[in-house]
Amino acid sequence: MADHRSDPSALRFLIGHDLRTARERASLKQTEAAKVLSCSQAKINYLETGKTQQKPDEVTELLRAYGADVEHVDRMSSLAGRADQGTWWAPFGDVLPNWFKTFVGLEGLAAAEFAYESLLLPGQLQTADYAAGLLVGNLRVAPMDAPQVVRARLAHQRLADDTKPLRFRAVIEEYVLDRIVGSPQVMRAQLEHLLALMQRDNVELHVMPVSVAVHDGLDGDFLLLDFDEAQSIGYIEYPTGAIYVQDQDQVGAYTLSADRLCAAALSASESADAIAARIEILTTSSED
């Protein structure tokens, strides 16, 4: 996890999630875990929900009591021992909803991400003008805040990160390419940006053709975040909040759906051809 993407609250979230999962796997109650640290049940709850900083020695003691393997204990203890260097997205805190800040922090720490989007392009792929176009007339973003929201969206993009680029895989519906956001000129530039990103080894984009009538994405949009040291997390967003899928069996089901979506969609090269065809149409239209 890159230092320049430090986010103490997101780290606490990941560590707490891991502690709770390990305890439940060991079939222990919070009251029994409290005896390991000679503390109250409330403290165990705070540690598992990330409301308080988890100390490396506490994480080590708990995970050992839960029967975790040595390598896992060392990884989580290392995470807990990372210095609080501040939150990288702090300059944008005023325009980020509280429920979204956790996701932004987690995405900054992730090593890989999968996204299925049925209506719009994923945030990691958006240009500034496309992002701005999405905010026109938005009920939840005041016009005066829109420029800062766009800057925040670009700031958490990591596909071209020179230090540690995010490994990104996505499936979008075909009609996302035909939805003109901003203007034809903005959309053409956005599609050209997609083709440029697809040249990168860490970006894989698939277009789901309309001809595929039934597929795993019909249940709704979702994201998966994978981490080098912590367990994967699913993320489902709705207009005023989000759900984090943390049960690993459920995460596994979403991972299977992600693979099935990629298999059902156009290949990466076919997807690039579909995008190029839209660029040609927009170019021809602008010349008429």
Domain boundaries, the chain: 3-80, 93-287
Does residue 135 sit in helix, strand or coil? Answer: coil
Instruction: Residue 248: count other Cβ atoms within 10 Å of its Cβ.
Output: 15
pLDDT value, residue 2 = 40
**What number is the average pLDDT over the span 161-175?**
93
pLDDT value, residue 3 = 46
For the domain spanning 93-287, the CATH number is: 3.30.870
Q: Determine which of 75-84, 156-165, 180-189, 239-248 has the lowest per-residue pLDDT on average.
A: 75-84
**Separation of alpha carbons 66 and 36, rounded Å:** 10
**What number is the average pLDDT over the span 151-166?**
89
Q: How far is CA 116 from the centre of its chain?
A: 11
pLDDT value, residue 77 = 85
**In the structure encoding, which two tokens stand for residue 81, read together?**
């021992």
Is residue 187 within 8 Å of 131, Cβ to Cβ?
no
CA distances in angstroms from 6 to 27, 31, 50, listed in the order given: 33, 32, 15
Is residue 170 within 8 Å of 117, Cβ to Cβ?
yes
Is residue 179 within 8 Å of 121, Cβ to Cβ?
no
DSSP label of 283: H
- Taking each helix axis as running N to C, give the angle between helix 70-80 and helix 56-65, from 0 to 180 degrees, rounded to the nearest 10: 150
**Confidence band, pLDDT 50/70/90 cuts, at residue 269:** very high
| Mean of pLDDT over the chain | 89
pLDDT value, residue 287 = 67
Is residue 5 within 8 Å of 109, Cβ to Cβ?
yes
Burial string for 196-205 (b: 16+ CB within 10 Å, else e) reads: ebbeeebbbb
Query: What share of the chain in percent tops pLDDT 70?
Result: 93
**What number is the average pLDDT over the span 266-288?**
91
Is residue 125 within 8 Å of 170, Cβ to Cβ?
yes
- Residue matched to tokens 């789901």: 208
Cβ burial of 237 (10 Å; 0-12, 13-18, 19+) is middle
The structure's pTM equals: 0.84
3-80 and 93-287 share one fold: no
**In the structure encoding, which two tokens stand for residue 262, read together?**
């990629």
pLDDT value, residue 69 = 87
**Confidence band, pLDDT 50/70/90 cuts, at residue 89:** low
Is residue 238 within 8 Å of 203, Cβ to Cβ?
no
Cβ burial of 172 (10 Å; 0-12, 13-18, 19+) is buried
The CATH number, out of the four listed (1.10.260.40, 2.40.128.120, 1.10.10.10, 3.50.50.60), of the domain defined by the range 3-80: 1.10.260.40
**What number is the average pLDDT over the span 202-221?**
95
